[in-house]
Structure 1
Amino acid sequence: MLGSTIINNRQHVGLQRLSALAGLIHSSLGPNKKYKFIQDDTSGESTLVCSCFRIFENLELTCAVGQLVYETIQSHQKVYHTGSGCLLFFAGVWSRAALECIQKGISVAHIISAMSEGMDICLDVCRKCSILTEGLSGEQSQGCTAMSHGLGLQLSKKVIVGASRASNHLQGTTEVVQKTLNATGHRKLKLSRHFCEAKSENVSTVPKLPDIPHIGQGLSHGCIDAMNLVLEASRIQSKNNQKDVSCSIFDVTKVVTCVLPGLPEDHACVLPGCIVLLSAEQASVAYHLKEQHLNVALLNGDLSNTYRHLGFNRPTGIKSISDGSDLSSSSKEEEWLQKVVTLLLNLEVNLILVSGLVSEKVIERCCRHHILVVEKVKASVLKAFANATGAVLVTYATQLSKHCVGRGLRVGIWRDLSGHDGKPSTTVNISTGGNSDLVTVILTSCVHGKLQALEDQFWACAYRLHHVLKDKALLPGAGVTEMLCVHHLQKQAEHHVKHCRERNGDLVQNTKAGAAANPYRGVVLHLMADGLIDYISTVMVNTGRLSKIRARTAVSQQLQDYNESLGIAAKFPQLLLEGELEGGSVSSPLKSSEVPAVKIYDNLSVKQEAWRKALDLVFLVLQADAEVTTSCGQNTDCTQENLMML
């Protein structure tokens, strides 16, 4: 699993394993993501993946660090649906930086102190170069501030073309958000096996309408088709909800996906309403109910005799053994089923939407009475239907009464797919018949194993747009933000070295809140900057146009040009990979007139949280390693000044 990485058991094994695990996802970074096959040696089955989260979801992780990495990625993915690869990559490069510091004899306390300060520098750069989304359009001046001019590494020609097409007329001027650190000037570090979402700062001012198509294309990161579906979903929501024209509409909670195997990918589309795939038996009921105003019941949980909500779950694996127990269980299920069906018929319920699973016996019995049952419906969709129909969400079917039944939903046949994929199936559209925020994105592919990746790409794009509209700010992409962070980290490191020399070895520095001087601050900051450079160059290599050496040379050249400028406001032309290959020289960047007006963006909150989680993960493994290698615990007499106890 760790490839050819050699683990030195005499060193910090946890940091080495973290670095090795991070190496597994390098090919999934950047706009040109590469697919991987993961095969089970036992069963011989394989799965197709192209994202960091799916890679680790399908791996058998036996070591503690692997489990910790997966939990971290899982918690991040649950909230943001994007940025997991960035998180793990930086956890890997910064774990190597920490390991190198240890090999240089730098204590754990000094490593944590300097890296925390380095993170504060990077977060401050993000705050200062954030761009407000209000009035943002495609023809604004390049870069978010004077700081960022000349540091744009455009990474994908496909993204460039898509973003260029989305450019619109100037609607406003770029505003720069400059936020200072908190009063103490220190980042609060939380070390835990479970990471909490940090609340992003709201940087809104005067309300203006952002250019959603331009922003969306800039956030596509190579997934042009997926982002186009997101933009279409946003357009439909905006069209159906014109009451509040002062805000940008994109409610990601009211977007659902329907995956249809067997159809070509160009059949993907976006439709208002909730599209679901039904079996042949359920489809016959849908044909019977189509275009009628239906009575609907909404259930939050499973629809089965054995279902109990979380407060009443029985211990698993415990059975009551007695004569005829199977017959008793069967009779109880039949009694419950008869009671539920009778209740539904008395309430004249035609449609049941369930958030969980439905037993086959329930579906079969309901179909006999022309009652359509749909399972695995998103909770947000149930809530939307409850608001539209007046239905009351209940946990158990036996709780239903006439006051809980909603009215007004319609079922329409969208497409009969019986001839595709060799299985009889029909898609129906469940809607209120009027304007609604509910939107369904149809995802199709002839390659069944690719459907999961297409769905992941869609949700990544959807949540990027969602978080931008929530943050009301974004970051310059294509490596610009990372380059700015590298510049400031290196500048601080060089300033520290220069200051130490001027003091003739007397290490006195202006640390925040009167913190003790760290003689290794410059070394650690340089190593953190190297990690950022490694990230930029890796993404450039993944485009398939550059080797690692040429990519790092290009980055170094632009950093050198930036540092040699007359001032921080000096403007430099962007370094395009296409021009670099055609010209054959990284030292001859394109002229300003040859650079297309392209904007590539990153999410502010997603990037900040990915960096925070990456560093917290490194600190957690670093301290756990330190305890193991030094044999120091809380109840020992060892010197503990260099350890932050978990």
Structure 2
Amino acid sequence: MLGSTIINQRQHVGLQKLSALAGITHSSLGPYKRYKFIQDATSGESALAGSCLRVFENLELTCAVGQLVYETIQAHQKVYHTGSGCLLFLAGAWSRAALDCLQRGISVSHIISAMSEGIDICLDVCRKSSVSIDALGVAPSESCTVTSQSLGLHLSQKPTVEASQAPSNSQRTTKIGHKTFNTSGQRKIKLSRHFCENKSEDVSTVPQPHQPKLPDIAHIAEGLSHGCVEAMNLVVEASRMQSKSNEQDVRCSTFDVTKVVTCVLPGLPEEHACVLPGCVVLLHAEQAAVAHHFKEQHVKVALINGDLSDTYHHPGFKRPTGIQRVRNQSDLSSLSKDEKWLEKVVTLLLNLEVNLILVSGLATEKVIQHCCRHHILVVEKVKVSVLKVFANSTGAVPVTYATQLSKHCVGSGIKVVTRRDLKSNERTSTTAVNISTVGKTALVTVILTSCVHGKLQALEDQFWACAYRLHHALKDKALLPGAGVTEMLCVHHVEKQAEQHVKHCRDRNNDSVQQTKAGTAANPYRGVVLRLMADGLIDYISTVMVNTGGISKVKARTAVSQQLQDYNGSLGVAAKFSQLSLKGGTVDSAVSSAMNSGEAAAVKIYDNLCVKQEAWRKALDLVFLVLQTDAEVITRVDQNTDGAHADLMLL
């Protein structure tokens, strides 16, 4: 699994494994994804993966670090649906930085202290270099189509706050304990293997002096497409449909991803992808025949929040263990327990005149077939958010068990239409059926098509990544300059702090009192650790450039170094980094014009503020967890011994 990576058993094995696992992400960074074929050596079966999450889903993870990485990516992907590649890459880069520090004899506490300060600097730069979407104005074109030639927005307004005004780290104090790494007031970390989502209190933008016009979603989506132009076009179309249903202007300020559903339809070319109102599902021939009878019929709906089976129990329900039921006489009834339950449920549905059942979980095959015989359509695997939409529009009340249904729980006002225009070219027995409400609804379905079965999952992942980028951008009301600009700003400020540390140490060699006040004596290796962290960000930028093609790793790092030198040598504080060219590998000339004119460089690509911040946080938390665990295993610290926690964090 770890390829050709050599693991030194006498060193921090966990950090080495983390670095090796992070190598999986290299091909999934940047706008152009590279697919991976994963083959099972035992069965010979193969899987096509287009992201690091899909790769880990198909790997047999036998080590604890692998499981921890997988859980971290899962937790991040569940909330943000994007940024997991950046998370894992930086976790690997910073784990190598931690290993380098350990080889230089730097203690674990000093590594954690300095890296915590480094991430605080980066997060502060993100906050202060963020651009309010209100400042972007309205797009010059009303078109809702993203073109490959125009990959983003052109920004003429400066960031809300200069990133160069980052607070001095001399005011920061570090605390090694089980709750926090520092007391800067910016970042308080509680180590947890579950990596719970942090609140977005860090998102802060300067309010505008006047009420600006609502931003054009299509205009913002251009800068967030990140190479997935077709997927982002579908997102913009879904947003437009939601706006129409809400009787709002196309330039609305929200995009509700909870009211978006995807339907994967194999066999058709990718250009047949489209967006339709309502909920489109694929049903088998017998179920589709039942749906066909609903044409121009008044449909009553029941909503089940759980599985539709006799053995299903709510997650909060626990059966008592060790109890046996004994009967004095045998059951003479010919019906089994599940058959009795099924007969009771079907009788209840017929009495309530229910035609349609939407189930968030699974339904047994016997239940589906039995309901079909009575012209009752059962649709399983419906999102809970979709159930809420139908509940609000039809008056239905979701229940946990089918036996809880009553006339007050049944809703009406549902349309069920068979979509003949979505017939697959392949010999499949599935039929597309559109379930919608009579009135207007914000619920939309994105139809994703491809002639290649293995590519469908990747297309679905790309769509959801684009959808959540737009969702988070409108939720945060802020964006970050993309294409390496934010990372290079962070590198600049981190290296600046490292240089100041070295300079202060030289000036204070003969002044121990002043040195103690400044706090440098507490961590004499702060400058070294910060430089290694910055090098990890440089490695990330150059890897993204390499993955776009037409440039080597050496040329990419040279381009990044040149921009850093130009920025450091500029006299004006208004000079900004230009976005690195991701096609030719050359540095955009806009940085020189920005220095001369005092205007910010034209920004064409954007990143999400909250996603990038959380990915960086989780990456460093992952490194700290593995670093601390390795240290405890190697040193064999007795937790009951006094002073055992002197140089170690508690997990």
TM > 0.5: yes
Q: Check 1:102–1:167 CA distance in 2 against 1; reply closer, same or farther (3 A cut).
A: closer
Q: Superposed, which structure 2 residues align to 1:83-162 within 5 Å?
A: 83-137=83-137, 162=148
Match in the other structure for 1:352: 357
Q: Secondary structure at the match of 2:148?
A: helix
Deviates further, 242-251 or 3-12:
242-251
Kindly indicate whether the alpha-carbon contact (under 8 Å) linking 2:266 and 2:424 is maintained by their aligned counterparts in 1: no
Match in the other structure for 2:76: 76
Letter in 2 for 1:126: C
Q: Superposed, which structure 2 residues align to 1:286-301 within 5 Å?
A: 286-301=291-306
1:222 Cα offset (Å):
1.0
Match in the other structure for 2:280: 275
Q: CA RMSD in A?
A: 3.2
Letter in 2 for 1:350: N
Kindly indicate whether the alpha-carbon contact (under 8 Å) linking 1:31 and 1:221 is maintained by their aligned counterparts in 2: yes
Q: Check 1:313–1:513 CA distance in 2 against 1; reply closer, same or farther (3 A cut).
A: farther
Match in the other structure for 2:215: 210
1:239 Cα offset (Å):
1.0
Match in the other structure for 1:144: none
Kindly indicate whether the alpha-carbon contact (under 8 Å) linking 1:131 and 1:176 is maintained by their aligned counterparts in 2: yes
Q: Superposed, which structure 2 residues align to 1:41-80 within 5 Å?
A: 41-80=41-80
Measured in 2, the distance between the counterparts of 1:511 and 1:491 equals: 21
Measured in 2, the distance between the counterparts of 1:323 and 1:429 equals: 53
Match in the other structure for 1:164: 150
Measured in 2, the distance between the counterparts of 1:78 and 1:258 equals: 19
Q: What are the superposed Cα offsets for residues 124-155 of structure 1, whole Å, 9 maximum, x if unpaired?
A: 10011010011414889xxxxxxxxxxxxxxx
Alignment length, in residue pairs?
A: 621
Measured in 2, the distance between the counterparts of 1:528 and 1:605 equals: 20
Letter in 1 for 2:479: L
Give 4+ residue runs of structure 1 displaced > 6 Å after superposition.
178-183, 315-329, 507-516, 586-591
Q: What are the superposed Cα offsets for residues 97-146 of structure 1, whole Å, 9 maximum, x if unpaired?
A: 01100110111111000000001100110011010011414889xxxxxx
1:629 to 634, 637, 650: 634
Match in the other structure for 2:571: 566
Q: Check 1:618–1:284 CA distance in 2 against 1; reply closer, same or farther (3 A cut).
A: same
Match in the other structure for 1:151: none
1:575 Cα offset (Å):
4.6
Match in the other structure for 2:524: 519
Deviates further, 58-67 or 311-320:
311-320
1:387 to 379, 385, 392: 392
Kindly indicate whether the alpha-carbon contact (under 8 Å) linking 2:152 and 2:603 is maintained by their aligned counterparts in 1: no
Measured in 2, the distance between the counterparts of 1:167 and 1:21 equals: 35
Measured in 1, the distance between the counterparts of 2:513 and 2:147 equals: 51
Q: Check 1:277–1:512 CA distance in 2 against 1; reply closer, same or farther (3 A cut).
A: farther
Kindly indicate whether the alpha-carbon contact (under 8 Å) linking 1:270 and 1:441 is maintained by their aligned counterparts in 2: yes
Kindly indicate whether the alpha-carbon contact (under 8 Å) linking 1:163 and 1:599 is maintained by their aligned counterparts in 2: no
Measured in 1, the distance between the counterparts of 2:570 and 2:318 equals: 67
Deviates further, 271-280 or 421-430:
421-430
Measured in 2, the distance between the counterparts of 1:396 and 1:369 equals: 20
Q: Check 1:274–1:174 CA distance in 2 against 1; reply closer, same or farther (3 A cut).
A: farther
Deviates further, 296-305 or 629-638:
629-638
Measured in 2, the distance between the counterparts of 1:354 and 1:247 equals: 32
Deviates further, 513-522 or 391-400:
513-522
1:606 Cα offset (Å):
0.4
1:605 to 610, 622, 628: 610
Q: What are the superposed Cα offsets for residues 236-283 of structure 1, whole Å, 9 maximum, x if unpaired?
A: 101110269995131000000000011111110001111011100011
Measured in 2, the distance between the counterparts of 1:506 and 1:55 equals: 55
1:372 Cα offset (Å):
1.1
Letter in 2 for 1:190: K
Q: Superposed, which structure 2 residues align to 1:8-27 within 5 Å?
A: 8-27=8-27
Q: What are the superposed Cα offsets for residues 565-612 of structure 1, whole Å, 9 maximum, x if unpaired?
A: 11222357655355556xxxx79889759x995510000000000000
Q: Check 1:121–1:397 CA distance in 2 against 1; reply closer, same or farther (3 A cut).
A: same
Q: Secondary structure at the match of 1:47?
A: strand
Q: Check 1:613–1:16 CA distance in 2 against 1; reply closer, same or farther (3 A cut).
A: same
Kindly indicate whether the alpha-carbon contact (under 8 Å) linking 2:254 and 2:475 is maintained by their aligned counterparts in 1: no
Measured in 2, the distance between the counterparts of 1:565 and 1:118 equals: 24
Match in the other structure for 1:191: 191
Match in the other structure for 1:474: 479
> Is 1:176 aligned with 2:177?
no
Q: Check 1:577–1:196 CA distance in 2 against 1; reply closer, same or farther (3 A cut).
A: closer
Letter in 1 for 2:78: K
Q: What are the superposed Cα offsets for residues 328-371 of structure 1, whole Å, 9 maximum, x if unpaired?
A: 89622111111111111111111111101111111111111111
Kindly indicate whether the alpha-carbon contact (under 8 Å) linking 2:549 and 2:583 is maintained by their aligned counterparts in 1: no
Deviates further, 526-535 or 343-352:
343-352
Letter in 1 for 2:27: S
Measured in 2, the distance between the counterparts of 1:556 and 1:66 equals: 33
Q: Check 1:130–1:165 CA distance in 2 against 1; reply closer, same or farther (3 A cut).
A: closer
Kindly indicate whether the alpha-carbon contact (under 8 Å) linking 2:551 and 2:585 is maintained by their aligned counterparts in 1: no
Letter in 2 for 1:356: G
> Is 1:440 aligned with 2:463?
no
Letter in 2 for 1:536: I
Q: Superposed, which structure 2 residues align to 1:279-428 within 5 Å?
A: 279-314=284-319, 331-415=336-420, 420-428=425-433
Q: Secondary structure at the match of 1:292?
A: coil
TM-score (norm 1): 0.89
Measured in 2, the distance between the counterparts of 1:476 and 1:364 equals: 54
Kindly indicate whether the alpha-carbon contact (under 8 Å) linking 2:301 and 2:354 is maintained by their aligned counterparts in 1: yes
Measured in 2, the distance between the counterparts of 1:41 and 1:329 equals: 49
Match in the other structure for 1:535: 540
Structure 1: give runs of 5+ residues left out of the alignment: 141-158
1:25 Cα offset (Å):
1.3
Structure 2: give runs of 5+ residues left out of the alignment: 173-182, 595-599
Kindly indicate whether the alpha-carbon contact (under 8 Å) linking 2:359 and 2:382 is maintained by their aligned counterparts in 1: yes
Measured in 1, the distance between the counterparts of 2:639 and 2:151 equals: 61
Match in the other structure for 1:34: 34
Deviates further, 494-503 or 240-249:
240-249
Kindly indicate whether the alpha-carbon contact (under 8 Å) linking 1:72 and 1:194 is maintained by their aligned counterparts in 2: yes
Question: Identity of aligned pairs, percent?
Answer: 74
Match in the other structure for 2:597: none
Measured in 1, the distance between the counterparts of 2:277 and 2:513 equals: 64
Kindly indicate whether the alpha-carbon contact (under 8 Å) linking 1:240 and 1:436 is maintained by their aligned counterparts in 2: yes
